[in-house]
Amino acid sequence: MADTINQGRRRFLKTSALGVAAVPFTGLMLQQQVARADLPRLSEDDDIARSLDYRHDATEVTHSRYQDGQICGNCALWAGGDAEWGVCRIIPGKAVARAGWCNAWVAG
Ligand code: SF4
């Protein structure tokens, strides 16, 4: 009888641990799905892109704040995972290029 209870406890703890571990993983999967598939791409001509001096290709940036190696993909505000186009936390509803840059770049 005690063995059965202990087995039940072990199973419950194992299942609970898997459930807790799955929550952030599921959130990450959803975030990457949004980043890759659902958002239209930001145009460099959009008002918000112009106000941030955003460019799809950081290697073409001549802005005074730009430093070599800075791209959206290594900005602290990037939330696109490893996608080529992804979410930027300050640009709602549009995807930005991983290789892009804007004047709000923050070290990640
Ligand atoms: S804030 Fe960062 S991630 Fe967003 S567009 Fe600018 S450089 Fe890219």
pLDDT tens for each residue of 4-20: 444 444 443 453 444 44
Distance 62 CA to ligand 1 centre (A): 16
pLDDT, residue 28, reads: 54
- 27: Cβ contacts below 8 Å, ≥ 6 apart: none
* 96 touches ligand 1 (CB under 6 Å): yes
Which residue's alpha carbon is nearest to atom 6 within ligand 1?
102
Of 79, 86, 78, which is closest to residue 104 (Cα–Cα)?
78
* 49 touches ligand 1 (CB under 6 Å): no
Domains of the chain, by residue range, sit at 2-97
pLDDT digits (tens, 9 = 90+) for 55-76: 999 999 999 999 999 999 999 9
Distance 78 CA to ligand 1 centre (A): 6
Of 98, 95, 101, 108, which is closest to residue 38 (Cα–Cα)?
95
For 86, the token pair is 């992804």
For 32, the token pair is 């990457």
Q: Which of 41, 53, 54, when mutated, tests ligand 1's pocket best, judged by the most ligand atoms within 8 Å of its CB?
A: 54
Of 24, 28, 23, 21, which is closest to residue 82 (Cα–Cα)?
28
For the domain made up of 2-97, the CATH class stated in words is few secondary structures
* 102 touches ligand 1 (CB under 6 Å): yes
